[in-house]
Structure 1
Amino acid sequence: MSTANFLDAPYDISAGDRPPLALIAGPTASGKSDCAVALAQELERRGRRAVVVNADSSQVYADLTILSARPTEEDMGGIEHRLFGAWDGAQSCSAADWARAAASTIADIHNHDAVPILVGGTGLYIRTLLDGIAPVPPIDPTVREGVRTLPVAEAYAALQQEDPERASRLAPADTTRIARALEVIRSTGHGLAYWQQKTSGGIGDAVALHPAILLPERKWLYARCNLRFERMIQRGALAEVEALVTRALDPDLPVMRAIGVPELRGAIQGECDLEAAITRGAQATRNYAKRQFTWLRHQPPAHWPRLEFENYNSTAVNDILLRFPG
């Protein structure tokens, strides 16, 4: 079986070629979207159409145009973008939901002899698409309810007893992941590691992957996070959250827990003033970028190129593009 060793090389899926898939991953505000567009434009100059595919868990929601920093028409630079704003906020988009849609989208792009460029910072989305989905049976609702009512310290202590391997890999304050791990072992009798060994449906073996991970200098990245949130406010983020509040959606939906939404909702509902909400939103953005940075540095395969840089400028962009064969 031949593979597409270069992004702009011809390929024939019917002949057994593994078609190319570019991946640009990075924390929020790292400049990955601009890099994806620049790469697509370069490929098109070389005669190969390219399409940018979203892999960000906030940018999938139509309701979060501003707070997710979804690319504008100008940002897209004439390049087709897919899976941006594809879900209504009333509908939760799980990693499995997104991976199914992304696999179908990527196959369609390949069938039209184009190159998909996956861009985002949601590690769980990317891993699920490439490696597949763990076939965890449905969780017993009684077990889930019992686990979700536990204080995080108590849940973590229980996980240390019932699934010490998983507990050792989680931060003691990681409420969501601790609850998930505990409900799985209590409901199924097996820990998450057992189920993850049985993953299926990933496309990693069917494509020629060309990845790059952006890891900018942290002080610069956090300054970008602050500036980004301030600009979101200027662009109308408060009105965007007001529209969500008006819809009276379930507060546990992902769209209602997206970075900036709880903070600005607090200002709208009189729980704090706008200045405090902006401060908290910027801090939440920095915290999220830090978690993404740590995950992307340590979790993807060691051979994936990690691109470290101090400032996002033309030199950094050129260095990133040169990491992609062809």
Structure 2
Amino acid sequence: MVNTQRRAVLIAGPTASGKSALALARAQEGQGLIVNADAMQIYDTLRVVTARPSVEDELLAEHRLYGSVPAGHRFSTGQWLTAVAEILSATDPAREVIFVGGTGLYFDALTKGFADVPAIPEAVTLAVQDEVSALDHEGRMALLQREDPETAARLGVADPQRVIRALAVKRATGKTLSDFQGAEQPALLADWAVERVVLALERQILRDRITRRFAAMFENGAVEEVEALLAQKLDPSLPAMKAIGVPEISGWLAGTLSREDAIRLATTATHQYAKRQGTWLRNRMGDWPRLGLEGQPLPG
């Protein structure tokens, strides 16, 4: 009997771990389709800054959802999942689909289901953001407990972005995040044959790669990309405006940071981001097989 089950490969890992190269090699082996699972690589304008695949690499295999959203937009996990569903429905069922990226929530949505929260009007989010920004931790938690006690109890720590999200959802829809999560959609890949891998480089190797990569970015187009982004005069709260490298290069362009300080601060921010990704990967993807440098299996 012919196996008609669709196949997907999920390649996760921290920034600079070599995910895109591994995905490209896998796609070339069997003419697979590569789908972006990185929240920042979604946005246009910032190919170099967000380490999107190069134009040359995109010619070697089909890539989807890279630079596909204008930098002036906010793109949610729900919108990403809808876009993925459309891609999968239009893809030959016999073709392997390779998801690659560092956004853990995207992989959760694919494999564990997702609460379909409606798009929240930007005006609501900005109003909540202004209100929350004036509060300390205790104030944020008190506000969240009044309006969404269940989410407050679940969070434990009043992370500003999560508080803003929960309050914006409640005020825009009249429902809490928990209400939507109780009606979670089934996982998009529930019936697929799924191969999962996490790239897990030795810490110092990853740090060295991050350091070298940002220095190279600065010399190879990152500055010009940030200039193009700033020329759009976008809302500073937009995700693309907060991409690592954008605030630092903006500071250098404005004369408030030296070149060396801009590179140092962006590199430090990237190290910190990689550390947060590593924590997510250990906590949420602890049972995924680990691969080391150049995609080699780790011992044990």
Alpha-carbon distance in 2 for matches of 1:69, 1:242: 17
**Cα deviations across residues 192-248 of structure 1 (Å, max 9, x unaligned)?**
344223112641323222111222222322222111111101112111101111111
Alignment of 1:1-326 (within 5 A): 11-12=3-4, 18-42=5-29, 44=30, 49-76=31-58, 78-111=60-93, 113-136=94-117, 145-146=127-128, 148-150=130-132, 151-153=135-137, 154-159=139-144, 166-167=151-152, 170=155, 172=157, 174-184=159-169, 191-200=176-185, 202-300=187-285, 303=287, 305-307=288-290, 309=292, 312-313=293-294, 317-319=295-297
Q: Which moved more, 1:163-172 or 1:60-69?
A: 163-172
Flag the 1:235–1:152 CA change in 2: closer, same or farther, 3 A. Answer: farther
**Cα deviations across residues 46-67 of structure 1 (Å, max 9, x unaligned)?**
xxx2111111112112211100
Helix, strand or coil at the partner of 2:200:
strand
Alpha-carbon distance in 2 for matches of 1:246, 1:137: 31
User: TM-score by structure 1 length?
Assistant: 0.79
Given that 1:143 and 1:183 are in contact with CA atoms closer than 8 Å, whether structure 2 keeps it comes out as yes
Q: Give the partner amino acid of 2:70.
A: D
Flag the 1:269–1:103 CA change in 2: closer, same or farther, 3 A. Answer: same
Work out the number of aligned pairs and report it.
294
Identity level (%): 40
Alpha-carbon distance in 2 for matches of 1:261, 1:81: 24
Q: Which runs of 5+ in 1 are unaligned?
A: 3-9, 13-17, 321-326
Q: Which moved more, 1:287-296 or 1:33-42?
A: 33-42
Flag the 1:163–1:294 CA change in 2: closer, same or farther, 3 A. Answer: farther
Alpha-carbon distance in 1 for matches of 2:24, 2:159: 34
Given that 1:217 and 1:308 are in contact with CA atoms closer than 8 Å, whether structure 2 keeps it comes out as no
Offset of 1:28 from its aligned partner? 0.6
Q: Which runs of 5+ in 2 are unaligned?
A: none
Given that 2:170 and 2:176 are in contact with CA atoms closer than 8 Å, whether structure 1 keeps it comes out as yes
Q: Give the partner amino acid of 2:87.
A: T
Alpha-carbon distance in 1 for matches of 2:13, 2:179: 29
**Cα deviations across residues 94-143 of structure 1 (Å, max 9, x unaligned)?**
211211111221232334x2111110011122223444442446769669
